[in-house]
Amino acid sequence: MQRQWSRVAEAAEAENPDTVPASRRSELDTLNRIRHRDGHVCGSLEEYLHAAADDLVAWERSLAGDAPQAAKRKLEGAWRHWHEILFEYGHIFGAVLAERLRERVRLRRSQLRDERCRQRGQDLRLPAGKVWFEATTQWQEVPSNAICAAGLEYRCDMQTGRNFARLAM
């Protein structure tokens, strides 16, 4: 199958530029880079983005709350790669389509995190009014009623008094 993909990419490069639209050439170039990086072969960036998001959400769902920080960082790195490809998708097909896809995936991840935080709070038998805080590699505001895991990086906004945390890099 990879040989056939190489032929498609070569044919697209060899064709008269008028027969293969620039957007399709850009898409094929990005798909080719994905194939070289990860070995994934897809017919379109949209197909890749949907399949990759499904895989990453499933990975995130299967990741235990007390999973090693290295596993969480690896997952976050995979999400960063997904967002880089989404950016290229937006450049080729328009920011509106990319933003719709990003928002759908963001909602799925947010619901998954909320579900995991509730479950972790129940497992830990947190007192009423306390919630579990799940950190990512991005700075997030820590609610005043949150319980945080050990090993996070913290910072405080001295002007507003708000606290932020993230996974240690």
Same domain, 37 and 50: no
What integer pLDDT is reported at residue 38 of this predicted model?
A: 85
Q: pTM of the prediction?
A: 0.73
**Number of domains the chain is built from:** 2
Q: What 3-state class would DSSP assign to 64?
A: coil
DSSP state, residue 97: H
Same domain, 63 and 32: no
Q: What 3-state class would DSSP assign to 70?
A: helix
- Within 13 Å of residue 129, how many CA atoms lie on the same side as its CB? 2
Looking at per-residue confidence, does 87 or 38 come out higher? 87
Average pLDDT over residues 44-71: 88
Question: 133: domain range?
Answer: 44-167
Average pLDDT over residues 22-50: 89
Dist. CA 156–CA 158, nearest whole Å: 6
What integer pLDDT is reported at residue 1 of this predicted model?
A: 47
Same domain, 59 and 69: yes
Say what percent of the chain tops pLDDT 70.
Answer: 89
Dist. CA 80–CA 95, nearest whole Å: 18
Q: What is the pLDDT of residues 91-116, one digit of tens each?
A: 999 999 999 999 999 999 989 988 88
